[in-house]
Amino acid sequence: MSSAVIYAGLIALIASAVFLLALLIFDRLAPMRFIKERHDLALTVWLVVPLVFALALQPKPVPEEVEFLPNGINAAIAEADSETRFAPALPAVSNPIAGLVPRGLPWASLVFAIWMTVSAFMLTRLLIDLGALLLLRVRSMQIVLPAGLGLSRRVDIRQAAGVSSPLMAGYFRPAIYLPTDFKLDASARPILEHEIAHLTRGDAWTVLGLRILGAVFWWVLPLRFVDRHLSRTREALCDEIAARITGEPIKLAHALLDTAQRQLARPSLALAAGSGKTALASRIQHLSSIDVETRRTPVMRIALLLPAIAAAAFVATPKVGAAVNDERRVWSYDMEDVSPLYHAAHRGRLADIRAMLEAGADPNEISYGDGAPLFAAIRSARRDVLDLLMQYGADPDLAVDGEGSPMIAAARNGELDMLQAMISSGASVDAGVAGDGNPLIAAVQVRDRRMVEFLLEAGADPNAYVWADETPMVAAAQNGDIEIAEVLAEAGADLSLTVFAPNRSGEGEYRSPISEARRKGHARMEAWLERRGAQHQPPAE
């Protein structure tokens, strides 16, 4: 797993470098007025690079999966007149960057551990910075704006010691924080409108989200340059909005110059109008070229850029996860855990299943964590496989700890046709497995009324008791399922039947439908039971 993460990380690094190059080329060639386009392209790059990493981790589908069988069974299959054969061994899955990372070295796990450690440190720093914002608000004082300032939006304005320039900070209670010596006259309006633009655009949330992504993908160095570009264009966008609202771009440029004279000490998550000299020069140049009467529709928008580039990334990103079979379900194959017969049953290979059974394979062999071959047939919804296995002696009542039985699996999966076939072959409709219930309890637990009605018609006992699963009516009460409870009651279920059951601490207790409805907080179910006279009736001591 850690090796796949390293491979995916290298792909993300390459993608980020390509995206950064494209961003720099666009920044160089596009007209200066394309500020919104520059911003949205940079933001798209920030969001797509983590997507590329996630896409790269996806498993690569292959047409067939290598199969290894005991020699005797392979020989039997080779002699059988089967329509399908086992696929030959696949060549190694091609990895486009496998040569960049040495194989068989333990350092991949070490790199992954370093990654997680630094990410944890950066997320801790983020929590500290969030605390600094709370402290800033606590130490600030709300002020009243002078009449006639005419801001475009009502906003909380506060003064705080230690703030050297106006800034916007906060999420659920955002505010503009001003230095204690800041003059609230007409010249302050452009700067305040700049901060209001941050608030209106939701920039604080964007910065927080990117900060979280940055803590996870801190090693993608090109994103640091993208972040600087994004910060610069974000401020320029707010400059543009403020200039159009006030109609005074030159006055805002002078205000920015005045702000630049101050020391820009501020919380890292706060958004301030001031910036570095290089960025400030380009922003002032942009302000001097703004036509406040002209509103230009952006050529490229985030709503178009993000899905387009994400779709391109989906197509172009190589998959370096584990190679898997391109079928409905992915199954890892291990001779020690999964039997060849189970594997073939899940794949629906009738000829191979028949060959293995005729060669002496046990139709009831249990594979750890999966059950017997009949379970595979039920999970794959293969009635033909189920019939073939039962012809060779597969037991539909076979109890497997943690899996139940084939009958229970069919009831849980809604496979009514397969359940009917097993009942017709003589399977017990009431056989239970402690911890997995019985077919009727399983059907009640998944709220399958059709299956419940079928099982009751087939003779299932509505009062059957299974240790650690209680009764069907108790299961209905635990779900708060009045509809199925009514079906059970009509079939003769005892609403007051109280049985012994283990609790979470491993000790025993008595449970009844009404005690479980109360314990789970199903008030309507409790009222329904009370109206019908249900009681909790543990045996007398």
**Residues facing residue 373 across a β-bridge:** none
In-domain check, residue 305 = yes
In-domain check, residue 262 = yes
pLDDT, tens digit (0-9, with 9 covering 90-100), for 51-83: 999 888 887 654 444 343 444 444 444 444 344
The reply to whether 395 and 464 lie within a common domain is yes
Which residue has 């020989």 as its token pair? 75
pLDDT level of residue 431 (50, 70, 90 thresholds): very high
Question: In the predicted model, what is the mean pLDDT of residues 373-378?
Answer: 94
The reply to whether 292 and 347 lie within a common domain is no
Task: Flag whether pLDDT at 93 surpasses 60.
Answer: no
pLDDT at 268: 66
Distance CA 294, CA 243 (A): 12
**Residues facing residue 508 across a β-bridge:** 502
**Chain centroid to CA 360:** 45
- Higher-scoring residue by pLDDT: 367, 298: 367
Q: Which two tokens stand for residue 437?
A: 């219930």
In-domain check, residue 456 = yes
pLDDT level of residue 334 (50, 70, 90 thresholds): very low
CA proximity to 436, closest of 471, 396, 406, 408 = 408
CA proximity to 444, closest of 406, 477, 405 = 477
Q: Which two tokens stand for residue 150?
A: 């005419």
Domain count, the chain: 2
The reply to whether 292 and 394 lie within a common domain is no
In-domain check, residue 93 = no
Other C-beta atoms lying within 10 Å of the C-beta of residue 326? 13
Beta strands (DSSP E) in 204-341 are 271-272, 324-325
Task: Flag whether pLDDT at 356 surpasses 50.
Answer: yes
**Residues facing residue 175 across a β-bridge:** 169
Could you give the angle at which helices 277-288 and 222-246 cross, rounded to 10 degrees? 40
pLDDT, tens digit (0-9, with 9 covering 90-100), for 279-311: 555 665 655 555 555 556 666 677 788 888 888
365 to 70, 208, 285, 350: CA distances (angstroms): 15, 54, 78, 17
497-427-487-493 Cα dihedral, nearest 10 degrees: -20
pLDDT, tens digit (0-9, with 9 covering 90-100), for 412-430: 999 999 999 999 999 999 9
Distance CA 5, CA 113 (A): 11
Distance CA 220, CA 322 (A): 23
Expressed as residue numbers, the domain containing 232 is 107-314
The radius of gyration computed from the CA coordinates of the chain, to the nearest angstrom, equals 34
- C-alpha torsion sign, points 361, 365, 367, 372: positive
Task: Flag whether pLDDT at 111 surpasses 50.
Answer: yes
pLDDT at 265: 54
Decide if 464 contacts 436 (C-beta within 8 A): no
The reply to whether 146 and 257 lie within a common domain is yes
In-domain check, residue 172 = yes
CA proximity to 90, closest of 59, 60, 67, 58 = 67
Task: Flag whether pLDDT at 532 surpasses 90.
Answer: yes
16-32: burial string, b at 16+ Cβ within 10 Å, e else: beebbeebeeebeeeee
Beta strands (DSSP E) in 184-269 are none
Q: Burial, 541: exposed, middle or buried (Cβ in 10 Å; 0-12, 13-18, 19+)?
A: exposed
Question: In the predicted model, what is the mean pLDDT of residues 382-407?
Answer: 94
The reply to whether 357 and 274 lie within a common domain is no
Residue 433 belongs to a domain with what CATH number? 1.25.40.20
pLDDT at 104: 41
pLDDT at 74: 44
Question: Residue 58, SS3?
Answer: coil
The reply to whether 280 and 369 lie within a common domain is no
pLDDT, tens digit (0-9, with 9 covering 90-100), for 487-515: 999 999 999 999 999 877 767 899 999 99
Residues in Cβ contact with 367 at an 8 Å cutoff, skipping those fewer than 6 apart: 337, 338, 339, 342
The reply to whether 238 and 375 lie within a common domain is no
**Chain centroid to CA 209:** 16
CA proximity to 46, closest of 255, 217, 198 = 217
pLDDT, tens digit (0-9, with 9 covering 90-100), for 146-155: 877 788 888 8
The reply to whether 399 and 310 lie within a common domain is no
The reply to whether 357 and 310 lie within a common domain is no
The reply to whether 259 and 145 lie within a common domain is yes
Distance CA 514, CA 533 (A): 10
Task: Flag whether pLDDT at 87 surpasses 60.
Answer: no
Mean pLDDT, the chain, rounded, equals: 81
pLDDT at 31: 85
Distance CA 22, CA 37 (A): 13
Alpha helices in 317-405 (DSSP H): 340-347, 350-358, 373-379, 383-391
pLDDT at 182: 83
pLDDT level of residue 211 (50, 70, 90 thresholds): very high
**Chain centroid to CA 224:** 26
Alpha helices in 247-295 (DSSP H): 249-260, 277-288
Distance CA 327, CA 149 (A): 67
What percentage of the chain carries pLDDT values higher than 70? 77
CA proximity to 375, closest of 418, 336, 334, 324 = 418
In-domain check, residue 534 = no
Total-model pTM: 0.52
In-domain check, residue 173 = yes
509 to 270, 280, 498, 541: CA distances (angstroms): 57, 73, 10, 13
Q: Which two tokens stand for residue 30?
A: 């596009």
**Chain centroid to CA 197:** 32
The reply to whether 349 and 464 lie within a common domain is yes
Q: Which two tokens stand for residue 125?
A: 């720093």
Question: In the predicted model, what is the mean pLDDT of residues 446-455?
Answer: 95
The reply to whether 122 and 271 lie within a common domain is yes
Concatenating the DSSP letter of every residue in 195-238 gives: HHHHHHHTHHHHHHHHHHHHHHSTT-THHHHHHHHHHHHHHHHH
State the SS3 of 431-487: CCECCCECHHHHHHHCCCHHHHHHHHHCCCCCCCCECCCECHHHHHHHHCCHHHHHH
State the SS3 of 121-141: HHHHHHHHHHHHHHHHHHCCE
Residues in Cβ contact with 499 at an 8 Å cutoff, skipping those fewer than 6 apart: 465, 470, 471, 474, 510, 511, 512
Q: Which two tokens stand for residue 324?
A: 């898997």
Which residue has 């941050």 as its token pair? 198
Considering 478, 494, 510, which residue would you say is the last residue of a domain?
494
In-domain check, residue 461 = yes
DSSP H or E run through 316? helix 302-316
pLDDT at 254: 63
